[in-house]
Amino acid sequence: MLKKLYLIGIGPGDPKYLTLEAKSLIEKLNLFLIPEKKGKKEELTKKRIEILEVVKGGKTYQCIYLPFPERKRGINYREKVKEWRKEKAEILREALLHIQEEEVGFLIWGDPTLYDGHLDILHEIAEEMKLSFEVIPGLSSFQVLGAKMKVSLTDLATPLTLHTPRSLRNAKEIKHPVVVFLDNYETFSLFKDQPLKIYWGAYVGGKEEIFKSGTLKDISEEIKNLRKELKKNKGYLMEIYLLKPER
Write the CA distances from 2 to 62, 125, 172, 210, 246, integer angstroms.
15, 13, 50, 41, 53
What CATH number is associated with residue 149? 3.30.950.10
- Do 88 and 196 have their domain in common? no
- Do 125 and 146 have their domain in common? no
- Do 130 and 194 have their domain in common? no
Q: What is the pLDDT along the chain (247 residues), one digit of tens a residue?
A: 899 999 999 999 899 999 999 999 999 999 999 999 888 889 899 999 999 999 999 999 999 999 998 888 777 888 888 999 999 999 999 999 999 999 999 999 999 999 888 999 999 899 889 999 999 999 999 999 999 999 999 999 999 999 999 899 989 899 999 999 999 999 999 999 999 999 999 999 998 999 999 999 999 999 999 999 999 999 999 999 999 999 8
| Closest listed residue to residue 57, CA positions, set 28, 27, 30 | 27
* pTM (two decimals): 0.93
Gyration radius of the chain over CA positions: 19
Domain final residue pick, 139, 163, 181: 139
- Do 126 and 196 have their domain in common? no
Q: Number of structural domains, the chain?
A: 2
- Do 206 and 231 have their domain in common? yes
Structural domain boundaries, residue 200: 142-245
